[in-house]
Amino acid sequence: MANRLSDIKACVFDAYGTLFDFNSAADRCRDVLGDKADELSAVWRTKQLQYTWLRGLMGRHKSFWDVTGDALDFAMDTVGVSDGALRERLMGLYYNIDAFP
């Protein structure tokens, strides 16, 4: 077994959605979002991925953090939430999202 592993040069993990629960930020804001938490989280993640793909195809790179914020702005608008303090809270929570058990 040791010989088969000796040629490994790198290991790659898909962190978001595999190791880290991207829904945890919105879950921890259920006190403010209520029933909108699940929809906001779903729209946020979908738009985050779409923005990443589109910007990559267009050659208009932005950092993952900027894309995450842009996607959150879209998601909040989509679910009808306009609250700057909540946006900052969600972004702060996303910076430290929970790992899956």
Active-site pick, 14, 31, 66, 83: 14
Domain extent listing, the chain:
23-96
**DSSP structural state of residue 87:** H
Instruction: Tell me the fold of 23-96.
Output: DNA polymerase; domain 1 (1.10.150)
Is 35 known to be catalytic?
A: no
CB atoms within 10 A of CB 62: 14
**11 token code pair:** 């290991």
Nearest 5°: phi and psi at 20?
-110, 135
This prediction has a pTM of 0.84
How do residues 18-62 score in pLDDT, each as one tens digit? Answer: 888 999 999 999 999 999 999 999 999 999 999 999 999 999 999
Q: What six digits make up the tokens of 68? A: 């995450």
What are 86-96's pLDDT values in tens digits? 999 999 999 99
